[in-house]
Amino acid sequence: MSVRTPTGAVEPTGLVLQPEIPLCQTDLPLDWYQEEFRPYAEEFLALPDRKLETVLGWLEGYVEPARAHFGDSLLLLAHFYMGGEIVKLVEHFGGAVSDSYVLALQARNQPEKTVIVESAVHFMAEAVALLARDDQEVWITNPKAGCTMEMLAKDWMVMPVADQLRERYGDDLLAVSYMNTSGRLKALAGETGGAVCTSSNAHLVVDWARRQGKKILFLPDEHLGRNTAARLGMDLGRVRALPDPQRGAIHLSDFDELDASEMILWGSSCGVHTVFTADMVRWWQEQGWRVIVHPESPLEVVQAADGSGSTNFLWKEVVEAPRGAKLAIGTEGHFVRNARDQGALRGVEIAHLADIPEPGYDSAGCGCATMSRNDPPHLAGMLDLLRKGEAPDINRVLPGDSVDERTMARDRLPADERELLVQDARLAMERMIEIVESSS
């Protein structure tokens, strides 16, 4: 995995290609592909197996011509929760693999890269586009790859509630938007004097927000918000979660509890991280394992664990664990699988927190399923279509784009509104960078 440096540079993950190991990727049905991508999917589905060397050999036929065509202007990006070990493939072809924050900085830090192809979820590609220059194009290999946490915090869900809160609290309301939000919600943070945050700096950003003496609206992850409040020693009785957006539109009527609260949490969550329970943590601890979890997990899981932190924190624990150590990790499955492979090379045992070999515990499965919709045929097709000048516009990502991940319907802002959104969202991201830098 990558380790973030203060400049946002990406270092190689250290992941080793093991050609004989099959990819952890479920084949998608042919009708899940855009029409333009089906020929690539048909070829992929006809491959004899899913071993890395087979997939790599096939991908090379498309990736290498694209690299030769675009030269230094091409940048491949992947998040390390990607399925099918795309992380290894992308890195193999000279691309960068990292977390969403570092990915977002890549266009800004490399102005010579004008064709940027991302294998990750939509909000991550949009964050790259938010910081990109006008001559840098950002493409996502599958626009249907959405983050379920972000999908439950679409602007049309959040804005009516934010408007009611702004009506009641005026300038005293300040939004903190986690990286896992659309540009529209990052712009809301900028507009209300707030900031973006990541899982590694949420405590710094919320601490800063408290010092502004404002009421905080934390978007969109209820669990990261509550874990951050607990870490800062806030009175959890004054941290209120809004109803789960899956239950339908939220209409605020009783403001008494909200008036008394210091922080209001949007009620979204990550389906991957909320499968964990404190019971699972104790099971591994009883077997003598150290347990570390991501703070998108519920509070009781974080409190029971031996440590919690961002993906970079978890990876650091893996690479620094002494020979003979045993680590059970509560986070996304592909990450843990990669960590397990790397740990094995150094005599460190790694297990997925949910993979308990006893009845009553369900396996956690492969990983973030929506992110895995960016599979090898999507990468091959995207690069080949771009090279031929035939890439579908729906795969192009501009700041402010809102995509329905089921239907692929896209709402694109007019240029003037997009410009305003970029200003506000960048302001919120710059505030985060200032807060982090001034803390160190």
Distances (CA, A) of 430 to 39, 172, 205: 42, 21, 12
Q: What are phi and psi of 71, to 5 degrees?
A: 55, -135
Residues in contact with ligand SF4, counted by CB under 6 A, come to a total of 13
**15 or 149: CB nearest ligand SF4:** 149
What would the two tokens of residue 336 be?
């843990």
The label of the residue with tokens 């099918």 reads 84
What part of residues 289-328 is at the interface with ligand SF4 (CB under 6 A)? none
Least Cβ distance, residue 324 to ligand SF4 (angstroms) = 30
Q: Which residues pair with 74 in a beta bridge?
A: 115
**32 or 70: CB nearest ligand SF4:** 32
Instruction: Name the H helices within 252-325.
Output: 256-259, 278-286, 299-304, 311-320
148 binds ligand SF4 (CB under 6 A): yes
**198 or 277: CB nearest ligand SF4:** 198
78 binds ligand SF4 (CB under 6 A): no
Least Cβ distance, residue 270 to ligand SF4 (angstroms) = 3
* Strands, sheet with 195-197, edge to edge from the N-terminal-most edge strand: 195-197, 173-178, 215-219, 263-265, 239-241
**192 or 370: CB nearest ligand SF4:** 370
161 binds ligand SF4 (CB under 6 A): no
* Rounded CA separation 158/18 (Å): 44
What would the two tokens of residue 435 be?
């807060």
Least Cβ distance, residue 236 to ligand SF4 (angstroms) = 22
Piece of the chain touching ligand SF4 by CB under 6 A; list 147-155, 225-233, 248-256, 316-324: 147-155
Binds ligand SF4 (CB under 6 A): choice among 126, 332, 405, 424: 332
In degrees, rounded to 5, the angle at the alpha carbon of residue 330 between the alpha carbons of residues 326 and 335 is: 85
CA dihedral defined by 80, 176, 292, 86, rounded to 10 degrees? -10
Q: Looking at this protein, which amino acid is placed at residue 364?
A: A
First-to-last C-alpha distance (Å) of the chain = 23
Least Cβ distance, residue 427 to ligand SF4 (angstroms) = 24
**HSE of 392, CA atoms in CB hemisphere, 13 A:** 17
Strands 402-403 and 410-411 come out as: antiparallel
Binds ligand SF4 (CB under 6 A): choice among 149, 234, 281, 398: 149
Contact (Cβ atoms closer than 8 angstroms) between residue 270 and residue 296: yes
Least Cβ distance, residue 365 to ligand SF4 (angstroms) = 12
**2 or 180: CB nearest ligand SF4:** 180
**152 or 281: CB nearest ligand SF4:** 152
What part of residues 164-183 is at the interface with ligand SF4 (CB under 6 A)? 180
Chain centroid to CA 155: 18
Binds ligand SF4 (CB under 6 A): choice among 40, 80, 81, 284: 81
What part of residues 342-401 is at the interface with ligand SF4 (CB under 6 A)? 368, 370-371
State which H helix or E strand residue 38 sits in. helix 38-45
**262 or 295: CB nearest ligand SF4:** 295
**147 or 189: CB nearest ligand SF4:** 147
The label of the residue with tokens 């939000």 reads 181
3-state SS, residue 393: helix
121 binds ligand SF4 (CB under 6 A): yes
**107 or 371: CB nearest ligand SF4:** 371
**111 or 271: CB nearest ligand SF4:** 271
272 binds ligand SF4 (CB under 6 A): yes
The closest of 127, 32, 129, 13 to 81, measured between CA atoms, is: 13
Least Cβ distance, residue 141 to ligand SF4 (angstroms) = 15
Interface positions with ligand SF4 (CB under 6 A): 81, 121, 147-149, 180, 270-272, 332, 368, 370-371
